[in-house]
């Protein structure tokens, strides 16, 4: 049969014609199916609808209408886009696994594995009642996105589902309307845009806008419709351009493009007036072949003056989502600006359908040769989804996965080159670190610098289109937590988070080993002297591995003393009495930066000062001075005896506040004396004294070996001319 063309034109203010009975709803769907499906496939859709209606029998929507009206409407949205049979069937059944007693095996037996896989990908995770709403949403989003990476049609069905839910959002409470609208604007509309599905993205944006800002939407809509109804400019363009095209024997249609209100509102948010936001007149010209597109462009530029920098050729260089068109802006007499798109009708069809045009029943039945750009776009889509799927390798946290994916989705596209000329696709604002991880995780993990176009380039600075990027690496380098402040790709964020998490786990495991070793030594044992049978029995009872047990001890989730007692009590044996020798029960601190151990920021102790350790669950041990004013303020802390090791490594932080009379060389003199004392300056802050503007308060953060070293430094600084007083302050006062 000869199918009707795709029903793709977006009508932003059309009222949704949702039927309130199942029969009426299905009649609307059947009318759409007849336009492009053969009778056999129509019958299969009907059988699927009967199955779904029976499964949802008795269920109601918030509006009170039969629930199955919704799946029928979703299927109709998909049918308007001319999707093939499995997608239509999955659209009808997309809530069956989630909201009815039917199982995947039942569905697979009736409709096959392909349809069941699509439905399962769209279904939420078994309600997740035990989780907070945000965590449940993140879990279900992760499940859907991982299914999408295997079959992108899952996402198409979800977009159709979300579109109908947005079209019928009025029956929900106001708070739910806003929550769903915000999620739509933040996640689903950008996904649709990323795939080139403008039919979906524009409607989702405008519907979300109408629920988030109903008054602004109503006012803007009224003014826009009043303006859009006037066609004087379009008539002038047609009258001037059509004769020229006819003389060249070019057939073309010239029509005005509708703007979507969310786009106009965003421009007004950028401080543009309404008149400025809509001052350009959007025009679309459709023709039969590619050659005509360029000939029309030439005629248009000879008729009206082209605006410099406003021409883009997406026919010769298609966008990553397969979009092809010529874009130009021209100035008409009277100062009117025309914003013009020129494309073939097939380009227009594929532009409206986006990347997923390769799955259209329409294309299959017409035996249309899918353009090379669309095939390449599908490849790009699958590569992009595959990159996003990699994020699951770096995080087990659904909320982190959700946040990471959201950030990448909203980014635009650009490409840069390797030194060998290979193209690397990245989102806008990507940095050299993002590029390094795009090449390989090992390159990212060992990145220490970058060159762009042959010159040194900061690793935190965003790259620009078409730059050539080279990464400098070192085997001794590793990721830093600060990188998370500027990287934008899902892979980079995931890999950095994974490294930091593994590093923290490794540090906690090493600390746990030390704590348990200390606890066992109090009973005359070591980790190695505990029998293998005792270890196996305890680990089996605890459902832990030895490594995870030590990690939990290091994180403060288990007490080393209790674990030691349980290990030694294996099989009813008597535990040796604990020894009181300080060397067996004290934690030794060797440096300021040690696995699972950190110096408390409330007092920052120094070697030669009495210390004590606070076990902080989930983090490790904080070392305090014994006279720390905050020690014991909570009353529920768990403490462990600690001491400085005889052999220590590195320097330790401290801070001094120097009050002195103001003079030009104050900071230089202080810096010189600190350097002469073999100490390092890590930070400083200078302010006027509140009581005397002729005095300065200079706070200097330094690194010293121990308390005596700090005392020597203080004595040296007191020799400075104009010094009034010096006192030790805490690191926590650092800005």
Geometric angle at alpha carbon 84, from 388 and 325, rounded to 5°: 65
Report which of 711, 696, 694, 605 is spatially closest to residue 657, judged by C-alpha positions. 696
pLDDT at 570 over 60: no
| Phi then psi dihedrals of residue 328, to 5 deg | -155, 155
**Dihedral angle at the C-alpha atoms of 257, 261, 263, 265, nearest 10 degrees?**
140
**Dihedral angle at the C-alpha atoms of 703, 708, 709, 714, nearest 10 degrees?**
90
pLDDT at 362 over 50: no
* 385 touches 121 (CB < 8 A): no
Q: How far is 571 from 534, CA to CA, in rounded Å?
A: 8
**pTM of the model as a whole:** 0.62
Q: How far is 61 from 68, CA to CA, in rounded Å?
A: 9
Report which of 621, 616, 585 is spatially closest to residue 605, judged by C-alpha positions. 621
Q: How far is 453 from 341, CA to CA, in rounded Å?
A: 34
pLDDT at 586 over 80: no
What confidence score (pLDDT) does residue 592 get? 79
What confidence score (pLDDT) does residue 2 get? 45
What confidence score (pLDDT) does residue 90 get? 95
Report which of 238, 278, 286, 244 is spatially closest to residue 258, judged by C-alpha positions. 278
- In angstroms, the Cα distances linking 542 to 525, 529, 536, 570 are 21, 20, 10, 13
Question: What pLDDT band is residue 252 in, cutting at 50, 70 and 90?
Answer: very high
The arithmetic mean of pLDDT across residues 557-575, rounded, is 71
* 465 touches 319 (CB < 8 A): no
**Segment among 46-60, 107-121, 564-578 with least mean pLDDT:** 564-578
| Phi then psi dihedrals of residue 85, to 5 deg | -60, -50
What confidence score (pLDDT) does residue 408 get? 67
H or E element at residue 659: strand 652-661
* 192 touches 159 (CB < 8 A): yes
Sign of CA dihedral 43, 47, 48, 52: positive
What confidence score (pLDDT) does residue 119 get? 92
DSSP one-letter string for 593-655: EETTEEE-TTT---TTS-EEEEEETTTEEEEEETT-TTTTSSS--EEEEEEE-SS--S-EEEE
Q: How far is C-alpha 351 from the chain's CA centre?
A: 26
Residues 522-555: tens digit of each pLDDT: 788 888 888 888 888 888 888 888 888 888 887 7
Residues 694-724: tens digit of each pLDDT: 788 888 888 899 999 999 999 889 888 888 8
Active-site positions read 98-99
Map tokens 């402040």 to a residue: 485
Is the pLDDT higher at 518 or at 652? 652
Q: Tally Cβ neighbours within 10 Å of residue 515.
A: 27
Write down the mean pLDDT value for the chain. 81
Q: How far is 273 from 281, CA to CA, in rounded Å?
A: 16
**Segment among 35-49, 365-379, 581-595 with least mean pLDDT:** 365-379
What residue ranges define each of the domains in the chain, with the CATH number in brackets?
A: 22-225 (1.10.3210.10), 226-366 (3.30.460.10), 586-649 (no CATH), 652-733 (3.30.70.260)
- Which residues, in sequence order, are bridge partners of residue 89? none
pLDDT at 62 over 70: yes
pLDDT at 49 over 60: yes
Strands 593-594, 611-616: pairing kind: unpaired
What confidence score (pLDDT) does residue 395 get? 67
Question: What pLDDT band is residue 465 in, cutting at 50, 70 and 90?
Answer: confident
Residues 429-457: tens digit of each pLDDT: 899 999 999 999 999 999 988 999 988 88
What confidence score (pLDDT) does residue 372 get? 55
């Amino acid at each position: 049969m000869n199918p009707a063309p795709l029903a793709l034109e977006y009508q932003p203010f059309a009222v949704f014609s949702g039927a309130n009975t199942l029969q009426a709803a299905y009649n609307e769907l059947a009318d759409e199916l007849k336009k492009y499906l053969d009778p056999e496939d129509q019958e299969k859709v009907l059988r699927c609808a009967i199955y779904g209606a029976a499964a949802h029998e008795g269920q109601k929507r918030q509006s009170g209408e039969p629930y199955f009206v919704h799946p029928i409407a979703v299927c109709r949205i998909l049918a308007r886009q001319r999707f093939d049979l499995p997608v239509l069937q999955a659209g009808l059944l997309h809530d069956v696994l989630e909201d009815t007693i039917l199982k995947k095996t039942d569905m697979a037996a009736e409709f096959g594995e392909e349809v069941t896989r699509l439905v399962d990908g769209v279904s939420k995770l078994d309600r997740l009642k035990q989780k907070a709403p945000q965590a449940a949403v993140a879990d279900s989003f992760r499940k859907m996105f991982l299914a999408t990476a295997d079959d992108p049609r899952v996402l198409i069905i979800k977009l159709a589902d979300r579109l109908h839910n947005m079209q019928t959002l009025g029956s929900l409470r106001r708070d739910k309307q806003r929550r769903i609208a915000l999620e739509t604007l933040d996640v689903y509309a950008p996904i649709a845009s990323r795939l080139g599905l403008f039919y979906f993205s524009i409607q989702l944006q405008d519907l979300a806008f109408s629920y988030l800002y109903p008054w602004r939407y109503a006012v803007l809509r009224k003014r826009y419709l009043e303006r859009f109804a006037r066609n004087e400019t379009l008539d002038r363009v047609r009258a001037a351009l059509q004769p020229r095209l006819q003389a060249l024997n070019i057939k073309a249609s010239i029509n005005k493009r509708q703007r979507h209100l969310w786009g106009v509102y965003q421009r007004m948010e950028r401080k543009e007036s309404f008149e400025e936001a809509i001052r350009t007149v959007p025009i679309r010209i459709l023709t039969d072949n590619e050659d005509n597109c360029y000939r029309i462009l030439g005629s248009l530029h000879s008729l009206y003056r082209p605006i410099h920098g406003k021409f883009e050729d997406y026919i010769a260089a298609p966008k990553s989502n397969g979009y092809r068109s010529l874009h130009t802006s021209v100035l008409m007499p009277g100062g009117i600006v025309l914003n013009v798109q020129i494309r073939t009708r097939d380009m227009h069809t594929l532009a409206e359908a986006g990347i997923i045009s390769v799955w259209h029943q329409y294309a299959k039945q017409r035996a249309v040769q899918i353009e090379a750009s669309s095939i390449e776009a599908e490849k790009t889509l699958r590569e992009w989804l595959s990159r996003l799927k990699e994020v699951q390798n770096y995080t087990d946290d659904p909320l982190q996965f959700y946040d990471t994916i959201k950030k990448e989705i909203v980014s635009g596209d650009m490409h840069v080159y390797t030194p060998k000329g290979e193209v690397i696709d990245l989102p806008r604002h990507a940095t050299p670190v993002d590029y390094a991880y795009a090449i390989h995780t090992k390159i990212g993990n060992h990145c220490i610098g970058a060159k762009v176009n042959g010159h040194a380039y900061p690793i935190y600075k965003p790259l620009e289109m078409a730059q050539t990027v080279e990464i400098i690496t070192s085997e001794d380098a590793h990721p830093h937590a600060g990188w998370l402040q500027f990287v934008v790709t899902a892979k980079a964020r995931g890999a950095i988070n994974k490294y930091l998490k593994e590093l923290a786990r490794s540090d906690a495991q090493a600390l746990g080993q030390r704590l348990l070793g200390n606890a066992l030594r109090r009973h005359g044992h070591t980790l190695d002297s505990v029998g293998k049978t005792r270890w196996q029995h305890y680990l089996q009872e605890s459902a832990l591995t030895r490594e995870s047990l030590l990690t939990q001890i290091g994180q403060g989730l288990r007490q080393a003393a209790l674990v030691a007692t349980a290990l030694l009590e294996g099989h009813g044996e008597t535990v040796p009495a604990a020894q009181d020798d300080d060397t067996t029960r004290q934690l030794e601190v060797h440096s300021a930066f040690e696995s699972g151990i950190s110096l408390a920021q409330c007092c920052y102790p120094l070697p030669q000062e009495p210390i004590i350790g606070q076990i902080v669950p989930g983090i490790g041990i904080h070392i305090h001075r014994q006279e720390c004013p905050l020690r014991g303020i909570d009353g529920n802390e768990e403490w462990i005896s600690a001491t400085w090791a005889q052999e220590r490594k590195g320097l330790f932080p401290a801070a001094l506040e120097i009050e002195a009379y103001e003079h030009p060389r104050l900071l230089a003199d202080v810096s010189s004396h600190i350097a002469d004392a073999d100490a390092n300056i890590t930070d400083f802050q200078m302010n006027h004294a509140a009581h005397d503007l002729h005095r300065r308060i200079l706070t200097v953060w330094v690194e010293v070996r121990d308390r005596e070293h700090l005392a020597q430094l203080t004595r040296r600084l007191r020799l400075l001319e104009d010094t009034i007083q010096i006192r030790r302050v805490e690191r926590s006062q650092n800005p």
